[in-house]
């Protein structure tokens, strides 16, 4: 989306019903019971702020259209899980609710509790999500299908889910020196290609290993010397 430095038309002559019909149309398109302002700006005929002005608030506009109040229901499930994978791998252990601070996590523990009916349930749903999918650790998020059986090289960067699977297999420890952020705060783990991606290595579980930043940079120096 580009930011436009234009004054928005005021739509003074647009009747309320026209705004509300368009809001309902967007909800139908999304097959959702509610619409966020961002979603409306992407698909609506008007701007979300025009509706906000007309009806006093976004919530009022939703009410008038017979739609539900926006809660965190709209955070896509993959976003919830990707964020949790990120927190988990950085901690090097299963996160507790108190670990989800504004510094470590983009989403609050309450968001997970509300969405899954408790923290424990959120963790269970996350583990199911991490475990399901392709044998290669899943660059795609959908369940395995016929084409997923074909081994794909994958992009250079592993997905957050694949990073989680690699690190979990390696017990969140560096494969060279054994350090883990769970026991040695300050240790940062990376996922490294065993056969380098530049040399045709695949971004799949069995070609990836967990290394700490120190060992990872030592490895590149070594291979640079060996290569030279
Ligand atoms: Zn190490």
Mean pLDDT along residues 40-62: 87
- Centre of ligand 1 to C-alpha 224, Å, is 18
**Cα 64 to ligand 1 centre (Å):** 58
Average pLDDT, the chain: 83
What's the structural domain count of the chain?
2
Contact 66, 84 (CB under 8 A): no
Q: Establish if 24 belongs to a structural domain.
A: yes
Ligand 1 centroid – CA 221 distance (Å): 14
d(CA 19, CA 44): 9
End-of-domain residue from the set 71, 102, 135: 71
34 in Cβ contact with 62 (< 8 Å): yes
Res 134: pLDDT: 53
CA dist., res. 80 & res. 83, Å (int): 5
SS3 label, residue 86: helix
Could you tell me the distance, in angstroms and rounded to a whole number, from the CA of residue 218 to the centre of ligand 1? 9
| CATH number of 213's domain | 1.10.30
Kindly state whether residue 136 falls inside one of the protein's structural domains.
no
**What is the separation of C-alpha 11 from the centre of its chain, rounded to a whole number of angstroms?**
37
Residue 96 alpha carbon to ligand 1 centre in Å:
25
Q: Distance from the CA of 190 to the center of ligand 1, in angstroms? A: 10
8 assigned to some structural domain: no
Give residue 177 CA to ligand 1 midpoint distance, Å: 4
pLDDT at 207 over 90: yes
Give Cβ neighbours of residue 89 (< 8 Å, ≥ 6 apart).
Answer: 160, 163, 164, 167, 172, 189
CA distance readout (Å), 223 to 48, 77, 193? 54, 40, 13
β-bridge partners, 190: 211
Give a yes or no: residue 36 inside a domain.
yes
Q: Is residue 94 part of a domain?
A: no
Structural domain of residue 24, as residue ranges? Answer: 16-71
Measured N-to-C along each axis, helices 77-91 and 109-116 cross at an angle, to the nearest 10 degrees, of 130
**How many other β-carbons are positioned within 10 Å of the β-carbon of residue 70?**
17
Query: What is the pLDDT averaged over residues 19-45?
Result: 89
**pLDDT tens for residues 162-190?**
999 999 999 999 999 999 999 998 999 99
Q: Is residue 104 part of a domain?
A: no
pTM of the model: 0.59
pLDDT, tens only, 80-121: 998 999 999 999 999 999 999 877 888 889 889 988 889 999
Distance 78 CA to ligand 1 centre (A): 30
Residue 140 has pLDDT above 50, yes or no: no
Residue 201 in domain: yes
Asked if the model's pLDDT at residue 3 lies above 80, the reply is no
pLDDT of 148? 43
Which residues face 212 on adjacent strands?
189
Band of pLDDT at residue 143, cut at 50, 70 and 90: very low
């Amino acid at each position: 989306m580009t930011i436009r430095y234009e004054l928005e038309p005021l739509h003074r002559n647009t009747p309320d019903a026209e705004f509300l019909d368009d809001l309902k149309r967007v909800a139908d398109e999304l097959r959702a019971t509610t619409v966020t302002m961002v979603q409306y700006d992407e698909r609506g005929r008007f701007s979300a702020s025009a509706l906000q002005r007309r009806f006093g608030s976004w919530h009022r506009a939703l009410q008038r259209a017979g739609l539900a109040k926006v809660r965190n229901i709209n955070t896509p499930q993959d976003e919830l899980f990707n964020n949790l994978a990120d927190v988990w791998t950085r901690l090097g252990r299963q996160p507790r609710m108190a670990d989800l601070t504004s510094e470590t996590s983009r989403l609050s523990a309450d968001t997970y509790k509300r969405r899954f009916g408790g923290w424990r349930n959120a963790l269970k749903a996350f583990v199911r999500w991490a475990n399901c999918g392709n044998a290669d650790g899943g660059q795609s998020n959908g369940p395995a299908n016929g084409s997923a059986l074909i081994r794909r090289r994958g992009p250079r960067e592993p997905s957050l889910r694949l990073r989680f699977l690699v690190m979990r297999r390696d017990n969140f420890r560096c494969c060279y020196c054994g350090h883990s952020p769970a026991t040695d705060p300050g240790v940062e783990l990376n996922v490294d290609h065993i056969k380098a991606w530049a040399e045709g290595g695949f971004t799949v579980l069995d070609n990836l290993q967990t290394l700490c930043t120190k060992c990872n940079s030592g490895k590149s120096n070594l291979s640079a010397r060996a290569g030279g």
